[in-house]
Structures are given as structure tokens and as C-alpha cells.
Amino acid sequence: MSVAVFPGSFDPITLGHLDIVRRGATLFDSVIIGVARNAAKKALLELDDRLRLARLAVADLPNVTVEAIPGLLVDFCREREASTIVKGLRSGSDLDDEVPMAAMNRHLGGVETVFVPASGALLHVASTLVRDVARYGGDISDLVTPEVATAVYAALGTRP
Ligand code: PNS
């Protein structure tokens, strides 16, 4: 049984993430979306909301589940018997960020990382940009699910 973890902050989960999850779900028997707290930055959405919205978004994918990562990603992978981490790559700067993390996770836990290239139509979709567009009343309806859009506007106190 091949298990992969797709980790991230998912603040919020975007159509770009969902594209990677769908494609990852064809490569592994099961994929766990691991929602991290991310001690380094204050999230817009609470962890419980990020979990709920991710679960709603993958409800049609029978081999995808969603869980919180309470600590180190490699510990979570070991507990779930996942030998692989899946990550999406949009650009060279994503690669620059991801390669050290992949190397660290292999160093710490012997877990390999598989990179899935983002689909061309979604190269511009990033949680940071989604939050920024919504903060100023821009339209995020074709970047996230309807439930995510509602939650993001509510958290920011804005609307399109
Ligand atoms: O969506 P993000 O914020 O780019 O995801 C970063 C994430 C959550 C994958 C990374 O911060 C992480 O793995 N956090 C869990 C704690 C951990 O294991 N840190 C060391 C990673 S090398």
C-alpha cells in the first residue's frame, strides 16, 4: 500500500492544490493532505477551518483524507506509514524553496519527496496571492472553491 502525504499550510486550499492532490491520488494508493500549523506565520484561517475546507474540497476523492500535522512532517509520515511526500512546483523559486525541505525531510526521516509540476493554467494560483486579492475585494471565485471563497472573505471582512 503506497501512502503519500501532501503537506502545506493550506491558508486557504486553492484550485492549484486540488489539481496536485487529484493527480497525486492517481500515483499512490492513498494521499493524506497534511495541514500544518506553521509556527512561523499567523494564518488567516484557523486550523479547524483549513481542515474543514480541505475535507469539503476532496469529498469526491475516495483515497484522499485530511489531517492536521501536529509537529514534524517526518514524524507524521512515520506514524501514517507514508514513504513519500508530494509537492507541487509552479516555478524555479518554488524549487529553490522546496529542495532544501526535501533534503531535510530525507535527512531526518528517510522520506522521499516527489514533485508534480503545476498545470499551466494554474501557475499563478498561490494562497498568498489569493489572500491578497480577496483583501482588496478582488474576485477569487475561479481560484478556490465557493466554500473557501466565502470563508476567506468572511475572515478578511471584505467581499468582491
Ligand atoms: O504551504 P507551506 O506553508 O509552504 O507549507 C510548508 C510546510 C507546512 C510543508 C512546512 O512548513 C512543514 O513541513 N511544516 C511541518 C514542520 C516540519 O516538519 N518542518 C520542517 C520541514 S523541512
The reply to whether 90 belongs to the active site is yes
Residue of 2, 41, 91, 159 marked active site: 41
Q: How far is CA 91 from CA 12, 29, 155, in A?
A: 20, 27, 29
Q: What is the pTM of this model?
A: 0.97
Nearest to residue 65, comparing CAs of 83, 79, 80?
Answer: 80
| Residue pLDDT tens, the chain, 160 long | 999 999 999 999 999 999 999 999 999 999 999 999 877 779 999 999 999 999 999 999 999 999 999 999 999 999 999 999 999 999 999 999 999 999 999 999 999 999 999 999 999 999 999 999 999 999 999 999 999 999 999 999 999 9
Q: Return the residue whose CA atom lies nearest to atom 17 of ligand 1.
A: 72
Determine whether the shortest distance from the Cβ of 111 to ligand 1 is under 6 A. Answer: no
The reply to whether 50 belongs to the active site is no
Determine whether the shortest distance from the Cβ of 89 to ligand 1 is under 6 A. Answer: no
Neighbours of 53 (CB within 10 A): 24
